[in-house]
A and B are shown apart, each in its own frame.
Chain A
Amino acid sequence: MMIESSPSSLGAKVVLAASSDENHPPENIIDGNTKTFWMSTGMFPQEFVIRFAEPTTIAAVTVDSYNVKHLKIEKNMSQNASQFEPVTEKEFEYTEGHLQSNAISLNGSSATHLRFIITSGYDHFVSVHRVSVKN
C-alpha cells in the first residue's frame, strides 16, 4: 500500500515561490490542508520549489489547485535549488467552482528538490492548495 503524506510531515519546505501574498504564503502548499492555499499574483510562468529533508523516492504527487492549465515538474538530487532536470508535465482540466485534483506519476524518481512550474492558467491568477506525496 502506498502512503500519501503532506510534505511538511516529511520535513519538507517550500524554499522558493515566484509570487507573494502575505496572507497566502507558499507554506500553505505543503501543510496538508486544502482550505489554505498559495496564490499567484499575476503573469506566467509561476513556480515553487519543495525541498525534502533527505533524498526521497517519489512514486507520485497529487496536486490540488485552481485555474492551473499546464504544469511542469522538475527534480534534482542536489543540496541547492538549482540545475533541475525535467520529470514530467501535464495539462490540467478546467474546473468550475471546485478544486482541480491531479495525480501525477513520477515513476519512483529520487529527489531532494521538486520544482513545479505553472506555465499557463485558465485565469490571470492560479492557486495551489495542496501537494501530497506518495512514496
Chain B
Amino acid sequence: MVKLRARCLLVGDAAVGKSALSHIFYSDGTLFQKNYSMTTGVELLMKCVNIPETNDSVELYIIDSAGKETLVEACEKMWGKPSLLCLVFDLTSEQSFANCSRWMERVRARCQGLQVPGVLVGNKSDLSARREVQASVAKEWAQSQGLEYHETSAKEMENCDAPLLTLARAFHSLYQERRETIQNLNPG
C-alpha cells in the first residue's frame, strides 16, 4: 500500500470553469455554482483518489489559481513546484483556447525540466450551439504539448472526474516507473 501526494495545478483563463470543475470533483458531483464568483488568489482543495486494482491512493492537492490576467503574477508565486497540470479552456471561447500556449509557458517555467503529467480540458460542452473550438483541433494541440485531452460540462456534471482521475493514475504510473529505476541503480 502506497499513499502518494501530488500538487495539481489548475490553470486557464478567467471564467472557463476551473473552480466549477474542482468543486464538483471535490464534492463528488453535488455542487455546481451557477453564479460566477471570481477566484482572486489561489484556492487549495485536497481530495484522495484510489487507484483502481491496487491498494494505492493519491492525495491530490488541487491548486485552483485565478485566471484573470492582472492576478496571475501574484498567484504564480504560490504555485510552488507542480506535480501535475490541469489546463482548462472554454469550448465556447476561441480566445481561451489560444491563450493555452501562454499558460503552458508559465507552467513550464515553474517545472524546471521536471516531467509533469498534464491534461487539457475543454469545458462547457453543454453549450454546443456556441462551440468555437473543434475537438479535433484541441486534441491535436494537446498531443503536441504532451497533454491528454478531455471535454467536460461542469453544468451537466458530465465527465468532470475524468481529467483528475487520469492525472492521479499518471502520477501513480510515474511513481512505479521511478521505483523500478531506483531498484535497479548501482551503488555510488
Contact = CB atoms under 8 A, between A and B. Distances in A.
B137 interface: no
Interface stretch (B2-10, B16-24, B128-136, B159-167): B2-10
Contacts of B4: 41-42
A80 interface: no
Contacts of B30: none
A20 B6 CA distance: 14
A48 B185 CA distance: 22
A124 B114 contact: yes
Counting chain A CB atoms within 10 Å of each CB, which of B2, B5, B182 scores highest? B182
A92 to B, nearest CB: 11
Interface stretch (B85-93, B138-146, B149-157, B170-178): B170-178
B7 A66 contact: no
B52 interface: no
A43 B5 contact: yes
Interface in A8-64: 19-24, 34, 37, 39, 41-44, 64
Interface residues of B, number: 22
Contact of A99 (B1, B114, B171, B186): B186
B63 to A, nearest CB: 12
A65 B178 CA distance: 14
B3 A99 contact: no
Interface residues of A, number: 27
Contacts of B174: 124-125
A43 B83 contact: yes
Nearest to B56: A21
Contact of B83 (A21, A101, A124): A124
A43 B186 contact: no
A120 B112 CA distance: 12
Nearest to B2: A21
A97 B185 contact: yes
A39 B179 contact: yes
Contacts of A41: 2-5, 175
B118 to A, nearest CB: 13
Nearest to A24: B179
Contact of A20 (B2, B179, B186): B2
B68 interface: no
A98 B5 contact: no
A4 interface: no
B83 A42 contact: yes
Interface string B54-83: 000010010000000000000000000101
Question: Top 3 closest A-B pairs, CB basis?
Answer: A101-B188, A99-B188, A42-B5
Given A21-B179, A95-B188, A99-B186, 15 more contacts: A37-B182, A41-B2, A42-B7, A43-B61, A44-B81, A66-B182, A66-B185, A99-B187, A99-B188, A100-B188, A124-B6, A124-B83, A124-B171, A125-B182, A127-B182
